[in-house]
Chain A
Amino acid sequence: MNSSSKQLQSAQSMNMQSRLLAHAPFLVACSMLVVIVAIYGSLQTGVFTIDEINLNTAAAMTLMLAATGQTIVLLRGGIDLSIGGMISLGTVIAATRFGDDPANILLWSGIILAIGFGIGALTGLLISVLRLQPFLVTLAGWSILNGIALMILPTDGGKVPEWWIGSGYLEFLGLGTPVWILLALIVFWCWFRATRLCTIIKATGSSEKSAFLSGVSITRINIITYGLSGFFAALASLYLTTQIGGGSPNIGTDYILPSVAAAIIGGVSLFGGRGHLFGTIVGAYILTLIGNLVFVLRVSSYWQPVMSGVILLLAVLASSYAEQKARKRGS
């Protein structure tokens, strides 16, 4: 009796431990963020103000939106490089079609989002039908979309109306537009991660064979996940136009690798099945704040990619360490 209750206890504490381990990559990301904020705060005054939060969230928002789609694709066990092309394409379409009429702008925003979802869905379909690596298909997709963006607008330019730009800087209850978008993202994820669809996406990323044997249509899941990724890339491009005030045919390229890095730093597994958007959001903040840190440290801005790389490496180490621990414990 006694020994069995002891066994139960140790089983429970093991359960606690393995739950902690499962969240280790996310917790590591959170602590890195805390450290970075602390360093930043000690070097710069006024870091802990709402203004600063608004500012940094604005700086991180495009990346966050792009990385949201990337997170969904990563959970499915894929990767989407084509978001780079989609973001560029979105900005140039907006910059050339918006005009001044709000109704027209609304219409074209809808069209851009639809194009994002449609092209993503097509990518997912191609991956399933051609049975090719997502890496290759989306790499090609990036190149093609980028080309189309250049055809529409060969150099930075075009324009969006002032009030559209201004809508990116509205304030409500002291919080700026980007913070409200962030809250909406969080609410979205709280809902999304509890849906059947999210379970199916994670399951497919965890074991495609098992998912198939359980009746999942892999083609359908590919269409949905890459479609969502395209949709979020389009959303990112719309937000980006409020930041740059026009179109830029190559700008999306800057978001491809950071979107993957943000997710990985936040603990999303590159092999699918594990992770969540909250991690990605933390990851996006970390990558953005490193830029600020480099600025206040007054070192050469070339240090920014170096530091990003080191942090990525640390995050990957943390998650693989946790993974191994969990393996040992389980299996």
Chain B
Amino acid sequence: MTKADIDAAFVEFERVQKSYDGVTLVVKDLNLSLPKGEFLTMLGPSGSGKTTCLMMLAGFETATHGEIRLAGRPINNIPPHKRGIGMVFQNYALFPHMSVAENLAFPLEVRKLDKAEREAKVMRALDMVQMGKFGGRRPAQLSGGQQQRVALARALVFEPELVLMDEPLGALDKQLREHMQFEIKRIADRLGITVVYVTHDQTEALTMSDRVAVFDDGRIQQLATPDELYERPLNSFVAQFIGENNTLTGVVTEIKGETCNVKLDSGDIIDAKPVNVTKVGDRTKVSIRPERVEFNKARLRPDAHTLKAEVLEFIYMGDIFRTRLRVAGHDDFVVKTRNASDQVRLQPGTTIDIGWMPEDCRALDA
């Protein structure tokens, strides 16, 4: 593979808009480009337009405006069955009147493969998802997890280069879901296919994806790798949506390079890193992760601002301690500390000073 091949966008959305009713835009100005072999997840709350984007890519919905390209070719006018895109549906959509093997043979039959070749490929695909023994069963005779595997095998059996999955694990219980996340990721990596995966479960998105596109209100709020997304959210929606997050509101009072000061609504001054604020006087929501809050004075910079906090609740969670504090008038401020042998266990009712490194506290849009 040459450098040019890797860089070339495999799937591209350019200025895509979609409206179902001609009144509201469900997808507003979507720009997205992903290279071959990438596992990209569309993450967002229900109704944010993820499925709509996937359906436009698959060809079941037409874009109201804009262009969608696959391997450099515009596909707006190509019917779904000629796009050669594998798809796993949320309810699996296994054909109930066909056996598992017949379901898998279906895409090969319509591609006019001969019988021997078909059987070999079906067997290989079933083995890949460890369902080799179930070829003769009807979908109704399989458990949810097994149906999921078959649906995956069916989407892969005709060797598509791009596979779309719309909340494929939504109907499974937690344990099975975690197992299948790993399984899907493993298979995708082994086959080197490009995957566009839709979910509203952020853990799923973070564990599986190369990159995650966070959707809200018909727009991509941030498109980044999981660690980037978690550690450097670009706006307060992303910060709230991904992982646990403490939010304080206030006004920027001073900006000096990579740090700034924010005066909270309670009057306290804190250190922060300006991300979405440009000038003194901007209102901001600052975001800080629970595990980055420090209450050991010795580990803070000498000139760091601190805040008074009252301990409300201490929860022992095994690997970590979760402590709830009242800070600057908010009583849902959470601190997480590792259960190390020398770790302090904060007592409810006591008052402590807390602070943080300025780069861990991001001043975002209000």
Q: Do A and B form a real pair?
A: no
Chain B interfacial positions (CB closer than 8 Å to A): none
Chain A interfacial positions (CB closer than 8 Å to B): none
